[in-house]
Amino acid sequence: MNIPDNLKYTKDHEWVRVEGDEAYIGITDFAQRELGDIVYVEVETVDEEIEEGEVFGTVEAVKTVSDLFMPVGGTVLEFNESLEDSPESVNDDPYEKGWMIKLKLSDPSSVDKLLSAQDYKELIGE
């Protein structure tokens, strides 16, 4: 299982990579494995301010549709539009090509309360 040490994680299986006062968000390797083959990612919240815990989009796999929850509050700056043509990138490379949104953080320190890689490994039994 790929769980990079440089990221933060949520109990809902999203990851966060912080770059200054911006962050990239996607779903974890564990989540994409649980979902199976991803066929569609929908994010219609670009330019919206979303609070922590609110839904920012959905991910559709062959068997199910799951909501995507905002790990930290902020304004959605960008959706990874390459996922429109290649949603399978979330399965193939969830932490690089498969990122879902870029966010302007409302409070950069809010990331500190997210799970470390070690905490996330414990959560999923790794």
- pLDDT tens-digit series, residues 72-112: 999 999 999 999 999 999 999 999 999 999 999 999 999 99
Residue pLDDT, tens place only, 10-53 = 999 999 999 999 999 999 999 999 999 999 999 999 999 999 99
Phi-psi region of 13 (alpha: psi -120 to 50; beta: other; left: phi over 0): left
Please say whether the beta carbons of 17 and 6 come within 8 A. yes
CB atoms within 10 A of CB 63: 8
CA neighbor of 41 nearest in space, from 22, 30, 56: 56
Query: How many CA atoms does the CB half-sphere of 125 hold within 13 Å?
Result: 0
Per-residue pLDDT at 1 exceeds 90: no
Q: Considering only CA atoms, give the Rg of the chain.
A: 13
Residue pLDDT, tens place only, 56-65 = 999 999 989 9
